[in-house]
Homo-oligomer: A and B are copies of this chain.
Amino acid sequence: MRIAQVAPLAESVPPNLYGGTERVVSWLTEELVAQGHHVTLFASGDSKTSAELVVSVPEGLRLAGVRDHTANILVMLEQVHRRAHEFDIIHFHVDLLQFPLFQDLVHKCVTTLHGRLDLPDFHPIYGAFPAMPLISISDNQRKPMPPSVHWMATIDHGLPADLYTFNPKVGHYLAFLGRIAPEKRPDRAIEIAKRAGIPLKIAAKIDPVDREYFTHVIEPLLDDPLIEFMGEISDQEKSKFLGNALALLFPIDWPEPFGLVMIEAMAMGTPVVAWRKGSVPKIVDEGVTGFIVDSVEAAVHAVRNVGNLSRLQVRQQFETRFTASTMAQRYVTIYERLLAARNPKRIAKEMPIADRLSTLVTPPLSVISKKPGPASLDA
């Protein structure tokens, strides 16, 4: 299949430092190439890929100091548009600027929405272009969206199976990893650790906007031998930090669209204790890869028992659900449905009747799948 992957330009693909979306685009791209597809990656020039790279800007825009990315993304989209005939599928990882320009090409387009979707400023575009095939990264992420849009599936992120090493040994500390920000609730993590009497290591960057929150709310809580604040850590350190932990604490207070760090921990065998918010109930398999909690009491109980979970089973569940290869396979299924919709003969030969119907009609799916367990390919 000839596939275009259209990445955001904030970071290189993969990013040198932070940047979840560009990391996922990289994993998907490499996996598709490995599976034998011809992939063209539209991204910044400092990207590293085994696909054909089309350079839109010399380097990732955040580190280049560009604050408004609109113009650069529009120029990239025009590059993609000019070459659209070369691709069977165009897969966008940018939020919304592509909708008007590609409205006559939606039959070969699909957009994965990587961010939170509860900010109403962006809803008009989704309502105005209901034909654009969309992928969510968790069912929960869809909830605030207009009902008319065309969801094709929820597809979990996945990472390469060999990226992190499985660590069979049960650790002695809780890990908090990410940003110091009110919605990430590092204060809650500290409270849980103190009440459970278990050490907590916090590895987190502090964005300028969150500096005051850190100084006034978090710093006063750090004065305890159980709590260690490590600041920002590198990708190399991250592997050790997560792998050696007893559990990852993820006490979030916002509609997290996915939460990559949860599956990173699982890849090393480290279970997750997480709040019932956003994607969490669909990512964590209760009692297998961790515990889902609603209160500090429940969290304290969970971290005291989390050492009893089988780290091997955590890793196995990761391998079943969250590898890049699983993710790529699901995306290929979507690409094939889009292709089949343009070629009814192929449908007749290759697809069961139920799928044929839904592919031919491609109805907007307004109801969010209520099925428990792994994210389903609905619609």
Tell me if A123 is interfacial: C-beta within 8 Å of chain B: yes
B contact residues around A129 at 8 Å (CB): 78
A217 on interface, CB distance cutoff 8 Å: no
Q: What is the minimal beta-carbon distance from A348 to any residue of chain B, in angstroms?
A: 35
Identify which of residues 91-109 in chain A touch chain B, using a CB-to-CB cut-off of 8 Å.
Answer: 96-97, 99-101, 103
Give the residues in chain B near A81, CB-CB below 8 Å.
100
Given contacts A100-B101, A101-B101, contact A122 B71 (CB under 8 A): yes
Which residues of chain A from 110 to 131 have any CB-CB distance to chain B below 8 Å in the complex?
119-129
The residue on B at minimum CB distance from A127 is B75
Asked if A369 is at the interface (CB within 8 A of a chain B CB), the reply is: no
Number of copies: 2
Instruction: In the complex, identify which listed stretch (A62-70, A160-168, A179-187, A311-319) lies at the interface while the others stay far away.
Output: A62-70
Q: Is the CB of A68 within 8 A of B122?
A: yes
Return the contact of A124 from the options B71, B120, B125 (Cβ within 8 A).
B71
The answer to whether the Cβ of A148 comes within 8 Å of any Cβ in the partner chain is no
* Neighbouring B residues of A17 by C-beta, 8 Å: none
* Cα–Cα distance between A125 and B129 once the two chains are bound (Å): 23
Q: Does A357 contact B (CB under 8 A)?
A: no
CB of A125 within 8 A of CB of B75, answer yes
Which of B67, B77, B121, B128 has a CB less than 8 Å from the CB of A68?
A: B121
Q: Is A72 an interface residue (CB 8 A)?
A: yes
A301-335 vs B: 1/0 string, CB under 8 Å?
A: 00000000000000000000000000000000000
The residues of B that contact A127 with a CB separation of less than 8 Å are 75
Assuming the contacts A81-B100, A100-B101, asked whether A128 and B75 have C-beta atoms less than 8 A apart, the reply is: yes
Out of B75, B103, B125, name the residue touching A71 (CB < 8 Å): B125
Interface centre among A57, A77, A99, A100 (most CB of B within 10 A): A100
A140-159 CB contacts (< 8 Å) to partner B: none
16 A-B pairs within 8 Å (CB atoms) are namely A66-B120, A68-B122, A70-B70, A70-B96, A70-B125, A71-B121, A72-B121, A72-B124, A74-B97, A74-B100, A74-B128, A75-B124, A77-B100, A78-B103, A78-B129, A101-B101
Across the A-B interface, give the 4 residue pairs with the lowest CB-CB distance, nearest first: A71-B125, A75-B128, A68-B121, A71-B124
